[in-house]
């Protein structure tokens, strides 16, 4: 009932334009989407083979526990399979985490701009989103989050690295913050892009969990692992924290080909390493070229750039769209002159840059 009552409060979630819709609207043969932080290399060929084999068994329901995938992840991260829950993308995981924790009137605290799903699901559950601005370096403001904790705070989301700014919080400061939150508050780390962070001694949500902190870490196969179209996400937390989520989630949320592809991609380290190297090299090259165009580029720990273009973001979005390139304007929250652009292959980035120059 709560869902019916609160559904009018939330705007429909429109995650950008689809390639098909833009082709049709502007009568284009080819469209390049640099708006959804997808992996431009396509899926791992090993994942494609595994999917094809799994498709031959499509008449059978998938394993509702996705045991093979959870066991593989558990081995990689040094946790128990029982400490992992899978879902139909991180979107679905965020939704059942909030549903499991938030009652009417509970507060959910985070910084903005950030990933919009925290707000919508909180509203849907009758909770109250409490939004505080990022720091001036555009990272999550841990001091301000701390100041805004009340008796009603239930969850704190930390998007690390943050979407859309690409920034990370320093891990010592994060540990101090997690250690200091009162017992009635649960910290959730949304680590959709954490695989792009390779800093020495950097602690992730899973490291904090293994150190005994009661945090929930959410991750996805959509970005680094290049399986956005298959929808695989997961959370890592204690069995006790996962118990209410197990009651809420759909039993067959992750389908058979998706489980097979996720397992195969984890095994294909040659593919993931190639992607990491390409992303690092192209991130540097694209950042430099964007700066040469007079834009300001923020340091990114992800596969996208947050860019101050110093003119109207919606106008640039519209102009590029007509040329068949989709980017993400970050309008709202006072960021009307900022865009988020996913890092493509060398050729894709060159096409973006030459199109930008034509528009000058
Ligand atoms: N969290 C963040 C920070 C994201 O950027 C995204 C996807 N854009 C998600 C969660 C959702 O990922 P998924 O594709 O697994 O639903």
Give the ipTM of the model, two decimals please: 0.99
Q: Which residue's CA is the nearest one to ligand 1's atom 2?
A: 192
Helix, strand or coil, per DSSP, at residue 250: coil
Burial class (CB in 10 A: 0-12, 13-18, 19+), 253: buried
Q: Are strands 338-342 and 107-112 parallel, antiparallel or unpaired?
A: unpaired
Q: Are 189 and 216 a contacting pair, CB within 8 Å? A: yes
**N- to C-terminal Cα distance for the chain?**
53
Q: Which residue's CA is the nearest one to ligand 1's atom 4?
A: 192
- pLDDT score, position 4: 79
Q: 201: which residues sit within 8 A by CB, 6+ positions away? A: 171
Q: From CA 218, how far away is CA 216, in angstroms rounded?
A: 7
Beta bridge partners of 233: 87, 220
Helix, strand or coil, per DSSP, at residue 128: strand
Distance 359 CA to ligand 1 centre (A): 31
Per-residue pLDDT of the chain (360 residues; tens, 9 = 90+): 467 788 888 887 777 788 999 999 999 999 999 999 999 999 999 999 999 999 999 999 999 999 999 999 999 999 999 999 999 999 999 999 999 999 999 999 999 999 999 999 999 999 999 999 999 999 999 999 999 999 999 999 999 999 999 999 999 999 999 999 999 999 999 999 999 999 999 999 999 999 999 999 999 999 999 999 999 999 999 999 999 999 998 999 999 999 999 999 999 999 999 999 999 999 999 999 999 999 999 999 999 999 999 999 999 999 999 999 999 999 988 899 999 999 999 999 999 999 999 997
Return the best residue to mutate from 115, 134, 189 for the ligand 1 pocket (most ligand atoms within 8 A of CB): 115
Q: From CA 154, how far away is CA 143, in angstroms rounded?
A: 17
Name the phi and psi angles at 219, rounded to 5: -135, 175
Q: From CA 295, how far away is CA 309, in angstroms rounded?
A: 5
What ligand 1 atom has the least distance to the C-alpha of 15? 8
Distance 292 CA to ligand 1 centre (A): 30
What ligand 1 atom has the least distance to the C-alpha of 222? 14
Structure tokens belonging to residue 38: 């997808």
- pLDDT score, position 151: 98
Q: From CA 84, how far away is CA 238, in angstroms rounded?
A: 8
Q: Are 100 and 225 a contacting pair, CB within 8 Å? A: no
Query: Alpha-carbon dihedral of residues 207, 175, 177, 82, nearest 10 degrees?
Result: 20
- Ligand 1 binding pocket (C-beta < 6 A) is 37, 89-91, 115, 159, 163, 190, 192, 220, 222, 228, 233
Q: Within 13 Å of residue 248, how many CA atoms lie on the same side as its CB?
A: 19
Distance 320 CA to ligand 1 centre (A): 24
- pLDDT score, position 2: 64
Distance 346 CA to ligand 1 centre (A): 24
Q: Are 301 and 36 a contacting pair, CB within 8 Å? A: no
H runs (alpha helix) in the chain = 2-6, 19-26, 45-55, 67-77, 89-101, 117-124, 142-147, 171-180, 205-210, 239-248, 256-267, 269-292, 313-322, 346-359
- pLDDT score, position 55: 96
Residue appearing with tokens 């994060």: 174
Distances in Å between the Cα of 155 and the Cα atoms of 48, 51, 99, 158, 178 are 38, 36, 11, 10, 12
- pLDDT score, position 235: 98
Distances in Å between the Cα of 103 and the Cα atoms of 131, 132, 159, 285 are 18, 21, 22, 47
Distances in Å between the Cα of 135 and the Cα atoms of 179, 193, 234, 315, 346 are 21, 20, 29, 27, 32
Return the best residue to mutate from 113, 163, 234 for the ligand 1 pocket (most ligand atoms within 8 A of CB): 163
- pLDDT score, position 5: 83
**Residue 80 DSSP code:** -
Query: Alpha-carbon dihedral of residues 242, 248, 254, 256, nearest 10 degrees?
Result: 100
């Amino acid at each position: 009932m709560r869902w019916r009552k609160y559904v009018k409060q939330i705007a429909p979630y429109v995650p950008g334009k689809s390639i098909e819709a833009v082709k049709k609207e502007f009568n284009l043969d080819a469209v390049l989407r640099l708006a959804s932080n997808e992996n431009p290399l396509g899926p791992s060929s090993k994942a494609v083979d595994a999917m094809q084999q799994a498709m031959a068994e499509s008449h059978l329901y998938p394993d509702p526990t996705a045991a093979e995938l959870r066991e593989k992840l558990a081995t990689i991260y040094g946790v128990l399979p029982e400490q992992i829950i899978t879902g139909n993308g991180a979107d679905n995981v965020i939704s059942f985490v909030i549903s499991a924790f938030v009652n009417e009137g509970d507060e959910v605290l985070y910084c903005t701009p950030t990933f919009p799903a925290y707000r919508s699901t909180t509203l849907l559950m009758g909770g109250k989103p409490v939004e505080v601005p990022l720091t001036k370096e555009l990272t999550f403001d841990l001091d301000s989050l701390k100041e805004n904790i009340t008796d009603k705070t239930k969850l704190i989301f930390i998007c690390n690295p943050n979407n859309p700014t690409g920034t990370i919080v320093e891990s010592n400061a994060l540990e101090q913050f997690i250690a200091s939150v009162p017992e009635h508050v649960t910290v959730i780390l949304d680590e959709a892009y954490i695989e792009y962070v390779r800093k020495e001694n950097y602690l992730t949500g899973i490291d904090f969990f293994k150190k005994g902190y009661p945090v929930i870490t959410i991750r996805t196969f959509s970005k680094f692992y290049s399986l956005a179209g298959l929808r695989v996400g997961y959370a890592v937390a204690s069995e006790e924290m996962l118990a209410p989520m197990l009651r809420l989630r759909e039993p067959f949320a992750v389908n058979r080909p998706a489980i097979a592809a996720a397992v195969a991609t984890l095994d294909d380290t040659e593919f993931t390493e190639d992607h990491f190297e390409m992303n690092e090299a192209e991130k540097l090259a694209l950042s430099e070229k964007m700066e040469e165009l007079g834009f300001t580029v923020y340091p990114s720990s992800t596969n996208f750039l947050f860019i101050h273009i110093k003119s109207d973001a919606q106008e640039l979005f519209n102009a590029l769209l007509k040329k068949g390139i989709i980017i993400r304007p970050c309008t709202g929250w006072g960021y009307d002159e900022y865009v988020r652009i996913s890092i493509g292959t060398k050729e894709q980035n060159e096409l973006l840059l030459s199109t930008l120059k034509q528009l000058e």
